[in-house]
């Protein structure tokens, strides 16, 4: 480790101060992490720390790799665009919901899909399943991988922001019919303006899966297929919600009724 900022007590006091007064910046790294390890950050992370947050040598940050817990580190060198940090402490902190929650989201317009994914992560979903429905906006199949990469970046950034130390699993894009052919477990709900039940009539049985349509919702065939697969059709009041509003509302209600938003 480079000299100049090796006083553990000082850095640990900084960690305590920031957690009392403000939040440390958090970064996800897809690599093993351990105490006393020196790491050269990826270019995008380095750019964020240097040019967006304008941090300098000695600044403390939090690192996590999705395996649980988080690591306190501080910047030990800045050389051109390279940032090196040193890990000094591990905190065994979990912020996952006790509710096993899955969002099955019909692919919507890019700006709506991005918003939905970000808020779903903040609301504690463990699984996100993008599905293609009849009313999903058309897009070229050769661009699916690019979209999945974009969505994964949103999952990571939202996890960094909200304090999660485990990343939700983003499933590959698939058709709604393909998803419904898989075994459905726990409580499965499809949101529909013509639903026969309200959320308070639904009995929670272990895990919960929420199926949300794109702009325009589901057609009648898709709704029937979902119900034949065990999904309960639920309505939310007299007003029709936009797809991104519906997803956020349903997730928040589920976390309030059965999860950790008490």
Which CATH number is 8-91 given? 2.40.240.20
pLDDT of residue 250: 95
pLDDT of residue 80: 79
pLDDT of residue 215: 92
> In angstroms, rounded to a whole number, what is the distance separating the alpha carbons of residues 216 and 81?
46
pLDDT of residue 21: 38
pLDDT of residue 154: 97
pLDDT of residue 239: 86
Whether the Cβ atoms of residue 189 and residue 209 lie closer than 8 Å to each other: yes
Q: Running DSSP on this structure, what letter comes out for residue 241? A: P
Q: Which residues contact 158 (CB under 8 A, 6 or more apart)?
A: 117, 118, 119, 121, 122
Asked whether the domain spanning 101-258 has the same topology as the one spanning 8-91, the reply is: no
Listing DSSP states for 112-153 in one string gives HHHHHHHHHHHTT-SEEEEEE-TTSPP--GGGHHHHHHHHHH
- CA 154 to the chain's CA centroid: 7
Whether the Cβ atoms of residue 217 and residue 176 lie closer than 8 Å to each other: no
Q: Is 60 helix (H, G, I), strand (E, B) or coil?
A: strand
pLDDT of residue 259: 93
pLDDT of residue 4: 45
Q: What angle do CA 238, 244, 250 make, to 5 degrees?
A: 60
Q: Which residues of the chain have pLDDT under 50?
A: 1-10, 17-22
- The answer as to CATH 3.40.1280.10 being correct for domain 101-258 is yes
Domain boundaries, the chain: 8-91, 101-258
């Amino acid at each position: 480790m480079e000299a100049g900022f090796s006083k553990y007590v000082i850095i640990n006091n900084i960690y305590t101060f920031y957690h009392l007064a403000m939040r440390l910046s958090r970064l996800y790294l897809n690599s093993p992490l351990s105490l006393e390890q020196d790491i050269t950050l990826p270019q995008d992370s380095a750019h964020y720390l240097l040019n967006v947050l304008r941090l300098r040598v000695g600044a403390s940050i939090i690192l996590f790799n999705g395996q649980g817990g988080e690591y306190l580190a501080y910047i030990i060198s800045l050389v051109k665009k390279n940032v090196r940090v040193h890990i000094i402490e591990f905190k065994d902190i979990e912020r996952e919901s006790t509710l096993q929650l899955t969002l099955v989201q019909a692919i919507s317009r890019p700006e709506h899909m991005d918003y939905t994914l970000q808020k779903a992560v903040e609301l504690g979903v463990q699984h996100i399943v993008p599905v293609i429905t009849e009313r999903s906006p058309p897009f070229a199949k050769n661009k699916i991988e690019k979209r999945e990469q974009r969505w994964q970046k949103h999952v990571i950034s939202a996890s960094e922001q909200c304090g999660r130390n485990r990343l939700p699993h983003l499933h590959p894009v698939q058709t709604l019919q393909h998803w419904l052919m898989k075994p459905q477990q726990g409580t499965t709900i499809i949101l529909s303006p013509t639903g026969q039940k309200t959320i308070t009539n639904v009995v929670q049985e272990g895990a919960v899966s929420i199926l949300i349509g794109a702009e325009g919702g589901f057609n009648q065939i898709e709704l029937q297929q979902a119900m034949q697969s065990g999904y309960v059709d639920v309505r939310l009041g007299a007003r029709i919600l936009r797809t991104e509003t519906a997803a956020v509302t349903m997730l928040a209600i589920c976390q309030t009724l059965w999860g950790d938003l008490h």
